[in-house]
Amino acid sequence: MLKIKFLVTLAAITLLLTGNPVSAQTTQEGLSLGPSTRPFASNDGIFHGSELYEYDAQLWAPYDVTSVDGKTKVKSGFYTQTGAAYLSMNGPGPVPGADPRTFESVNGWGTGILLEAGYVSEKGAGWSANYLGLEHSHYLADSEFKFTQVFGGWQQPMALRSTYNNVSVNRQFRQSLSNGGYVEPYVGVRYQGFFDETNQDLTTPDPILVPQFQQRFSQKTRNNMTGAQMGTRYFRNYGRYRVGSSIGVAAMYNDITYSASSLEGNAPLAPGPFQTLTNRANSFVPIFDLGAEISYQITRDISMRFGAELHWSWQGVARVDTRTIFDNPYSGFASNIPPLQTGPTTITTQDVLVAGFSFGIDWNR
């Protein structure tokens, strides 16, 4: 009897180890800590939408949901991007025909903010709004504040402040690629504002025969550009990492205003305490944009992003005249020189190059 029981038990164990498993045991997979891209099936072998893996249960997982046909779904819905930028702007160039030794042109680094918000439908079409704001200020003499002794008086270095604003609204279209990435062409309207402002002070001594003389000379240029833009962005996911690049062009109409102001005091020949001379112009400005970024997905919806970008406004931009208070013909309004009859001549054929780095946080839902 014991021999019969032993043979039956051995046969059952052999059948269990070598036989085909039950189908109900192979249609589901067990729990795991990572994201699952394999859907659950019904007993009838047909996939139903309600039986797909619920992604909301994977808060700390990167977004990687594969459809039944094997294609990775591009995430849709609302998204926002916030961040800080550290960008450099090139300085004004010399006035054509003037002695270049009287000019000082330096690149100025400044900090700004980056904002983007948008929505993409499940079909890949959507809208986005972008904003970039940047400002920097520095002195043109060794980039430090210090007075220089001139003719027994004191001359302050010229202070230059530049402001850059970029606002755009775009219609965008997302399209998945076979390699797992996706492209995002866009077209839209754009506003770009670029402003320069300089200030410089001069104080002469107060001897017995010559009264003390004080003067503040300032200049302002305002470039208000409006137009259309187009471009494309490319993204691809590698687990929790996503790399991207962008390229774009814009055609802008530039409305330019610029002025020179002189505030004088205690000068017997001064025509008045304050004078301002103005002028206007317009131009056409082409703009080229380049960008690259890499982001790391912390949770299902939040990512940290680091990028580099370049915005080049090619010619047609007005910049201030960086000649000092002694060399600039518009700094002394008491003398009757020809430029005073036509208004200040500002350089309207220069470019603006804004380039640097940015970092921030993205939220996608």
CATH number, domain with residue 210 = 2.40.128.100
Q: Domain check: are 79 and 14 in the same one? A: no
The contacts found for 182-186 with CB under 8 angstroms, 24 or more apart, are 182/74, 182/234, 182/235, 182/236, 183/232, 183/233, 183/234, 183/235, 184/232, 184/233, 184/234, 184/235, 185/230, 185/231, 185/232, 186/128, 186/230, 186/231, 186/232, 186/233, 186/248
Distance CA 117, CA 127 (A): 8
Q: Domain check: are 144 and 268 in the same one? A: yes
pLDDT of residue 262 exceeding 70: yes
Q: Domain check: are 120 and 246 in the same one? A: yes
Domain count, the chain: 2
List, in order, residues 6 or more apart from 123 with CB less than 8 Å away.
Answer: none
Could you say which of 35, 61, 87 is where a domain stops? 61
Q: Domain check: are 148 and 54 in the same one? A: no
pLDDT of residue 42 exceeding 70: no
pLDDT at 51: 45
For residue 10, what is the enclosing H or E element? Answer: helix 2-18
Could you say which of 40, 61, 82 is where a domain stops? 61
Q: Minimum mean pLDDT among 5-14, 97-106, 175-184, 283-292: which range?
A: 5-14
Q: Domain check: are 148 and 31 in the same one? A: no
- The residue-averaged pLDDT of 145-161 equals 69
How many other CB atoms sit within 10 Å of the CB of residue 2? Answer: 6
Q: Domain check: are 160 and 16 in the same one? A: no
Confidence of residue 348 (pLDDT cuts 50, 70, 90): confident
Which of 294, 300, 303, 309 has the alpha carbon at shortest distance from 236?
A: 294
* Candidate ranges 209-213, 332-336, 358-362; pick with highest mean pLDDT: 358-362
Q: Domain check: are 10 and 117 in the same one? A: no
Q: Domain check: are 294 and 334 in the same one? A: yes
Q: Domain check: are 55 and 97 in the same one? A: no
pLDDT at 77: 87
Which of 161, 184, 164, 158 has the alpha carbon at shortest distance from 173?
A: 184
pLDDT of residue 198 exceeding 70: yes
- The residue length of the chain stands at 365
Q: Domain check: are 286 and 230 in the same one? A: yes
- The residue-averaged pLDDT of 25-54 equals 45
Q: In whole angstroms, how far apart are CA 335 and each of 2, 258, 265, 319, 328?
A: 128, 21, 15, 25, 12
pLDDT of residue 158 exceeding 70: yes
pLDDT at 34: 41
Q: What is the pLDDT of residues 277-303, one digit of tens each?
A: 888 999 999 999 999 999 999 988 899
pLDDT at 155: 72
pLDDT of residue 245 exceeding 90: yes
Q: Domain check: are 266 and 135 in the same one? A: yes
- The residue-averaged pLDDT of 260-281 equals 70
Could you say which of 61, 84, 105 is where a domain stops? 61
pLDDT at 107: 81
Q: Minimum mean pLDDT among 21-35, 42-56, 234-248, 331-345: which range?
A: 21-35
Domain that holds residue 284: 67-364
Q: Domain check: are 244 and 317 in the same one? A: yes
Report residue 68 as tokens.
Answer: 């039944």
- The residue-averaged pLDDT of 148-155 equals 61
List, in order, residues 6 or more apart from 8 with CB less than 8 Å away.
Answer: none
- The residue-averaged pLDDT of 260-275 equals 64
pLDDT of residue 130 exceeding 90: yes
- The residue-averaged pLDDT of 303-313 equals 96
Confidence of residue 204 (pLDDT cuts 50, 70, 90): low
Q: In whole angstroms, how far apart are CA 47 and each of 52, 63, 66, 68?
A: 8, 21, 14, 8
- The residue-averaged pLDDT of 152-181 equals 86
pLDDT at 211: 55
pLDDT of residue 186 exceeding 90: yes
Distance CA 6, CA 17 (A): 17
